[in-house]
Amino acid sequence: MNIAVFGANGPTGRLVVRQALAAGHRVTAVTRKPDRYPLSSPNLDVVAADVTDPDGVERVLSTGPQAVISTYGVPYSKNEITVYSRGIANITRAMTIHGVERLICVTSTTVGTEKAPGESLVGRKVFLPFLRNVVGRTLYDDMRRMEEIVRSSGLEWTIVRPGGLFDTAEPTDDYEIAPRRLPGRVTSRADLADTLLREATEPRHPRAIVEIITRSDSPSPLAFVKEAFGSGR
């Protein structure tokens, strides 16, 4: 399968590309700095484009990928964030023009407003509102706009909402994915990458928002701090 990955040089994007190549797929890795891309393969094309540049996005999608995986992201900021909504608007527009139907993109469980099973009173009333409405307000507001654009696009989309991301070398094979709120707060990036690739190649949740939660491992509190203020997805 021919897959285009936007945000390919982020920590999740690199895992998606690595797993896709290992599975024998053809991959177009989209990054702003292709000369710094760490992966290489005869089945890999590394191209320069910024998701906020509509012409660059359209050039990528004019090459005929069969599916698009979007993993781009930015860290928290007090300033207004628009990269999620602007980028996905360019991607969905170009996909429609060039007849590419399958889109998988990443947001966050924090975007969800329904009560998560097993959530404590402190988590529900203090921690999550502080994260959603204070620390990450501009980021999650734009993720919501991103989801609205995807849902109204008419494409065969799946929105994947992970919990707090942390690193593992390989997929844990002990994670849950479902189109509803799930108990738990964390997601391994390798598990997320595995899910994104599976959804692109074997669509299990077309036109659905799904959550993914890892069960078998958990990061340290310090890892969460580094993740929140790091370089994005």
At 105, phi and psi to the nearest 5?
Answer: -135, 160
The residue ranges of DSSP E strands in 91-230, in sequence order, are 102-106, 156-162, 164-166, 175-178, 186-188, 208-214
Q: Angle formed by the axes of helices 83-98 and 54-61, to 10°? A: 40
Model pLDDT, residue 126: 52
DSSP secondary structure string, 74-120? ----SS---HHHHHHHHHHHHHHHHT--EEEEE--GGG--SPPTT--
DSSP-assigned letter for residue 35: G
2-13: average pLDDT: 97
90-107: average pLDDT: 98
Model pLDDT, residue 208: 97
Residue 38 is encoded by which pair of tokens? 């760490």
CA–CA separation, 51 and 208 (whole Å): 23
Cβ(123)–Cβ(183) below 8 Å: no
Which of the two residues, 128 and 146, has the higher pLDDT score?
A: 146
Beta-carbon contacts of 54 under 8 Å, excluding residues fewer than 6 positions away, are: 90, 93, 94
On the question of pLDDT at 194 being above 70, the answer is yes
CA–CA separation, 30 and 70 (whole Å): 10
Domains in the chain, CATH or no CATH each: 2-228 (3.40.50.720)
**Model confidence band, residue 114 (pLDDT cutoffs 50, 70, 90):** confident
Q: What is the pTM of this model?
A: 0.89
